[in-house]
Each structure stands twice: as C-alpha cells, then as structure tokens.
Amino acid sequence: MPRKYRIDFVCHAISGGGAERVLVLLAEKFGENHDVRIITFNESSSYDLPSNIEHIKLYGGWIPNHTVRRFFNLLSFYRKKANRPDITIGFITRINLVSILVSKVYKIKAIGCEHNNHLSDKTKLSRFTRNNVYKFADLITILTKFDAPFFKDKGAKVEVVYNPATFSAISEPRKARKKNILVAGSLNKIYQKGWDNLVPIVGPLLQKHQDWKLLIAGEGEKGESLLKNQMEELRINPASIEFLGFTNKIGEIMRDSEIFLMVSRYEGLPMVLIEAMSQGMACISYNCLTGPSEIITDNKNGILIENQNSSIMREGLDNLMADQEKRIMLGQSAPVSIEKFNMSSIHKKWEEILEEILC
C-alpha cells in the first residue's frame, strides 16, 4: 500500500486539450490513495471533478505578464504553510517553470510534465528559461525517448512516462461502422495541428466518396473560420463536414466511426491517437515529430505517412476509404497494440516515481 501524500497538480486551465485530459485522469486516479488538488490560473473548466478533488483557482492580479503573474499568485498561495503540498506536478512548459520555481522557494518537491517535444518551443528566451529552470526540478517527465538525450544534456533528471489511454480498449470484434473520418484537437493550434492542410487533403475525397463525412471535434474560432473559408473556396458541400465543437462523447463517436486522421506538423505523444486506436478506429497519421511512430507500426495497427507530404496522405486516405477489409484489419489490431498506455501501467509507474522522490 503506497504512502498517502498531498499532491498539487498545477495547470493553466482544465480545458478540452489532451494534456488537460491526462491531468484530470491522473488526478482522479491519485485521488483514490492521496489528497489531491488541482490548481489553475483560469476560471474555466471543461470537466466535472470528483468531490474529493479540490479545484483551486488563482486567477487575477495586476501584473501584465501571464507567467510572472502566475508565479506570484502561486508564491502567495504557498506562503501559508498549511497550503503547501508534499509535491507539485506541473503540466506544460510555462506552468512547469512557475511550479518548479515556486516549489524550490518553499522547499517543496517538484515534477514538471512536458507534453510536447523540445523542438516545439520556438522562442530563444523560452528555450533558455526552460533549459535552465528544469535543472532544479526533482524530475521532468517526457512523453517520448526522442527528448531524453536533449534534456539530460541540459542537466535535468528525466524519465519517459506515457500518457494513459482515456478509455478501456474495446475487446469485441471490429465490424463495419459509419463512414466517418474523425479529426480532433484544439482548432486554435492551426500550425501545430496542420488544420490549414486538412480541407485541401480531405475535401476532394469527400467529393469522390460522397457517402463519407468528415467530423471535426474541437474548439477554436480562428481554426474554424479558416476551415470554413477553405470549404467555400474549394466548393466543398457543407453537409459533408460537421463541426462538433468540444464534446464529452468523443469515445462514443470513435466507436461509431471508421477512420481517425491526424495531420499534425508536430506532437508530443498524441493522446487522441491512442484514444482512437483503443476504440478500434483505422488510424492514418503523418509520421511527425514526435509520437506517431511510437504508437503506430505502419500497416500493422495503423498507417504512417511521410510528414507533410499531402499528395501521399491524400492517396493513402483515398485507398483506406475504399478498402473496408483493411479498415477492419487495422481497427482490430489497434486496441491490443496499446497495452503499454493503459491506466494501470501508467499509474503504477507514477506511484513508483512518488515513492522514489518523497521517501
């Protein structure tokens, strides 16, 4: 039986992103054995939390710089000794910087969780700050083996810890489903998620295969506006593309749909791809940095396409739409191939990490 600790998960907000879903999943699981709080710097929340998990909102303040303001808000909150946990677990780079530095001020143990590859941080100042602050963390968890040498070279203690699958993998035989192509993610992350290439790739195929439909799950006014403008320019039938917005029924939609498509330019370890595979979808993805190649074995449990080669992606998707037998084969193989991402395995690893740091 693991010892009971006070754990604070620290994140910008509990919104509909993949990292936030991981945070909520882990917080709920840790809450079974530990005292858990979630600290955010934004009032909004897309998830209902169990009653045993306290949600503390530290928003507001006069300092214009978001990161600096969050630092002082958390610093002020932990000034009272009774508010201090045994350990903080930060989520996403800028919040990691805040939680690690504040934790060191009060001699609190600190873990930072990276949810993207190290190349995704584009500004020199951000990279410099990250590389120097991470040295002070008790541990930085990363999602892929690709990032380990980089962070170790910067003096950080690192460990690869995968994201857990949100849903239990299906076990029933894979059958034909609705002819839907599903994409999912924050629509405001246009460059990262490759939304600017989505309609040019899929649009012509929807005109060719008129019994198919594209479902877009995710929120973001900028991305939605871009996609709708492209639909008009390419004269795509609006009835063939449906915007779902944020939905709590993503698992049900996955179990009911044939193909999951990912056109990202880069990722960390895409949780939504793991989710889609767990629900028996036939998955096709660009082989971007990083994640897809650690999840998909090409033509065994999914399809990998040369990164950002839109003509090959269109051809591969076209062939998959036309080949029901292959969709069933990929969908049947996918759930059994992602055992390493189940919650039981991931939670066990986290408990071992806590024991090592806090004992």
Please name each of the domains of the chain with its CATH number: 6-163+342-358 (3.40.50.2000), 178-339 (3.40.50.2000)
Helix (DSSP H) and strand (DSSP E) numbers for the chain: 14, 13
pLDDT digits (tens, 9 = 90+) for 250-286: 999 999 999 999 999 999 889 899 999 999 999 999 9
**pLDDT for residue 13 is more than 90:** no
What's the confidence (pLDDT) of residue 15? Answer: 75
Residues 6+ apart with CB under 8 A from 32: none
d(CA 280, CA 336): 9
Report the candidate in 42, 90, 82, 37 with the shortest Cα–Cα distance to residue 66: 42
What's the confidence (pLDDT) of residue 166? Answer: 80
What's the confidence (pLDDT) of residue 16? Answer: 66
Residues 242-254, mean pLDDT to the nearest whole number: 94
What's the confidence (pLDDT) of residue 221? Answer: 94
Residues 66-74, mean pLDDT to the nearest whole number: 92
pLDDT digits (tens, 9 = 90+) for 156-206: 999 999 988 888 889 888 888 999 999 999 999 999 999 999 999 999 999
d(CA 58, CA 70): 8
**pLDDT for residue 43 is more than 80:** no
What's the confidence (pLDDT) of residue 2? Answer: 63
**pLDDT for residue 115 is more than 90:** no
**pLDDT for residue 288 is more than 90:** yes
Q: If you compute the radius of gyration of the chain from its CA atoms, what whole number of angstroms results?
A: 21
Q: What is the pTM of this model?
A: 0.80
What's the confidence (pLDDT) of residue 21? Answer: 82
**pLDDT for residue 122 is more than 80:** no
Which comes out higher in pLDDT, residue 77 or 165? 77
Strand partners, 262: 285
State which amino acid sits at residue 243.
F
Query: Percent of the chain beyond pLDDT 70?
Result: 98
What's the confidence (pLDDT) of residue 62? Answer: 77
CB 136 within 8 A of CB 119: no
What's the confidence (pLDDT) of residue 329? Answer: 97
**pLDDT for residue 129 is more than 80:** yes
- Using DSSP, state whether 33 is helix, strand or coil: coil
CB 285 within 8 A of CB 305: yes
d(CA 275, CA 164): 9
**pLDDT for residue 1 is more than 70:** no
**290 preceded by cis ω (within 30°)?**
yes
